[in-house]
Amino acid sequence: MSKRRRFKQTQSLEVRLAAKAEHLREKAREAPSGSERETLLCKARQFEEGLHMSEWLRTPGLQ
């Protein structure tokens, strides 16, 4: 049985989600109109929704 590889994240989840969403939006700006662009924008929105959910879960009222 092999050991699971583990590593420590250097940035918070929120920072990583925001960076990925921005990266996808930049790629979408460069992409021609069509299904590829829409797919990139959809993925960017999903990362932004994850960011908002993570922030919401960290609010003091929920803890």
Instruction: Look up tokens 């919401």; give the residue.
Output: 56
pTM: 0.79
Please give the average per-residue pLDDT across 20-25, as a whole number.
Answer: 97
Amino acid identity of residue 13, one-letter, is: L
**Separation CA 24–CA 45 (nearest Å):** 9
Residue-wise pLDDT for 31-57, tens only, equals 999 999 999 999 999 999 999 999 999
